Amino acid sequence: MLNASDLRKGLKVQIDGNPYIVTEFQFSKPGKGQALYRCKMRNMISGNQLVKTYRSNDKFEKAALAERNMQFLYNQGDEFHFMDTENYEQLFLSREQIGDNIHFLIDNMEVDVLFFDGMAIDVTVPTFVQLEVTTADPWAKGDTSGNDTKPVTVETGYELQVPPFVVEGDKIQIDTRTGEYVTRVKE
């Protein structure tokens, strides 16, 4: 069991039989009485938001989650197929279950799939991925005032801003937590 004082951003708890992740957290200690913990949580299955305030003596059950290493095989329409690397069992997830990670999935990528009661509910991609630039506008010489960036599209269809020296065919490293350019990969 967890106490309200254990609450923090990113913690996964179980409320009314459903797994929730804490997305925002505020602590306040009024002059009199108990400390208050105001939390914004997201249901990891339905995606619904929940805002609640807890007192310091409130208890929580830790979410019974399991994580398995899997390999992304391919997508077929809105179904994304994964294979367990230990027992070769296959499963598929919907576009909604994968969320923004869809922009960073490439064939044969190793990912961690999160399970709750035997049901896959979330995918964690590596923190940094290397993707090839498929579309990049040319850079005009003289466009160097300040922090210039230009939009590019990578092999997964994701668009992001990069420095002007990145050209079509380059491999770039992207931080999957923010979706931002990190560096150009030298081969």
Q: Which fold has domain 2-62?
A: SH3 type barrels. (2.30.30)
The total number of residues shown for the chain amounts to 187
* The pLDDT of residue 46: 80
Mean pLDDT across 150-167: 92
Contact 33, 15 (CB under 8 A): no
Q: What is the pTM of this model?
A: 0.73
pLDDT in tens, 94-136: 887 787 888 999 999 999 998 988 888 888 899 999 999 999 8
> Same CATH fold, 128-185 and 2-62?
no
pLDDT in tens, 6-52: 888 888 888 888 898 888 889 888 887 788 889 999 888 887 889 98
| Domain spans of the chain, in order of start | 2-62, 66-124, 128-185
The structural architecture, per CATH, of the domain 66-124 is Beta Barrel (2.40)
Burial of 122 (0-12, 13-18, 19+ CB in 10 A): buried
Residues 168, 170, 176, 180: is their CA dihedral positive or negative? negative
Domain 128-185 has CATH 1.20.200.10: no
